[in-house]
A = this chain, B = another copy of it.
Amino acid sequence: MQDSETEISTLGEFGLIDELTKDFKIKNKSTQYGVGDDCAVLDYSHDPKLRTLVTTDVLLEGIHFDLTYTPLKHLGYKAAVVNFSDVYAMNGKPEQITVSLGISKRFTVEHINELYAGILLACNEYGVDLVGGDTSASVTGLIISITCIGKGEEGKIVYRNGARDTDLICVSGDLGAAYMGLQLLEREREAGAGQRDFQPDFAGKEYILERQLKPEARRDVIEELHRLDIQPTAMMDVSDGLSSELLHICKDSNVGCRVYEERIPIDYQTAIMAEELNMNLVTCAMNGGEDYELLFTVPLALHEKAAQMKTAKIIGRITKPELGAYMIDREGNDELPIKAQGWNAFAAR
């Protein structure tokens, strides 16, 4: 530990919480009372159509992140944003988070301040209030558990189970970039192992790195849907990979789907990286995961509006369930079955 570093035990749990939360300001009228009591107190009662949305994500060192190449500030930002993404995926608006941490002995107050600087940035960017949490020592590694609370409107909330035959399938942004960013980081980590002055080569690959290290939640997509008065029939965010999420929607809605390979949105940096690593580009885009894009379906009658969207594009259509889930290749007729090869935290153990 260096001179400028502070052991967490010198502050204790309550001192640490005071230090970490002092820069957070309350922004939402639904937040009546935040950090500092047995519970936060929220007001989700001022409109009878108001609904409360709740989602939670846990991020574990060694499983979900590697601190050798993940800056703590980015990690804090990402840990918050992936929760916001789940609220947008219901056509909602995130308003509060609680942050629970398990912190091993190798972390100092300065480290945790960095992590919180990222959480603060995300909260300010997305207009979300920090309202509580729990902070404890851990035996090993950093543990981050965030719960996000948001608002939705009865009748406007979008589940996974509403897709219907002939609906259009849309996805925002592009896919596979976060996964390629992870491959790049892993490659440079291995190349630099044991070398003191190793400089990783990230030139021209800034986009895929940012997609991995500092993803955004697609609030802009939700805003565009509202502006164009498009009410999706089903929606979810792409965290485990497009294939996996398509199958969730098909299963929950009891439908099938066809997705056009040529319409899968892929950034050129993603394509270049896949080529460098000799990986199949479409497989990466379909199964990479951590894209935090929004996958949604809209009625065929809204085709014209959906085609106008700047933040999303049409990639396929919903079918009757007996037709299964397939991708149509660039030649237009061969059909490849869509399989969930998304990230499985338990398979890798």
Contacts and interface: CB of A to CB of B under 8 A. Distances in A.
Interface of A: 8-9, 11-13, 16, 32-33, 36-58, 60-64, 86-87, 89-90, 92, 96, 98, 100-103, 105, 131-141, 143, 145, 147, 149-150, 152, 154, 157, 159-161, 236-237, 252, 344-349
A47 B48 CA distance: 8
A287 B32 CA distance: 32
Interface centre among A11, A42, A101 (most CB of B within 10 A): A42
Contact of A102 (B56, B58, B131): B58
A147 B56 contact: yes
Contact of A143 (B38, B102, B348): B102
B159 A12 contact: no
Given A33-B159, A60-B102, A63-B138, 20 more contacts: A9-B344, A11-B346, A36-B252, A37-B159, A38-B90, A38-B237, A40-B53, A41-B90, A43-B154, A44-B44, A44-B52, A54-B147, A58-B101, A60-B136, A60-B139, A64-B136, A98-B147, A103-B346, A137-B346, A143-B143
Question: Which 5 pairs show the lowest CB-CB distances between chains A and B?
Answer: A145-B145, A62-B139, A39-B53, A42-B52, A38-B89
Given A54-B131, A139-B140, A143-B58, A157 B41 contact: yes
A12 B344 contact: yes
18 contacts: A9-B346, A9-B349, A11-B346, A32-B51, A38-B90, A39-B54, A39-B152, A41-B53, A44-B50, A45-B45, A45-B47, A45-B50, A54-B149, A57-B134, A58-B100, A60-B102, A134-B145, A135-B345
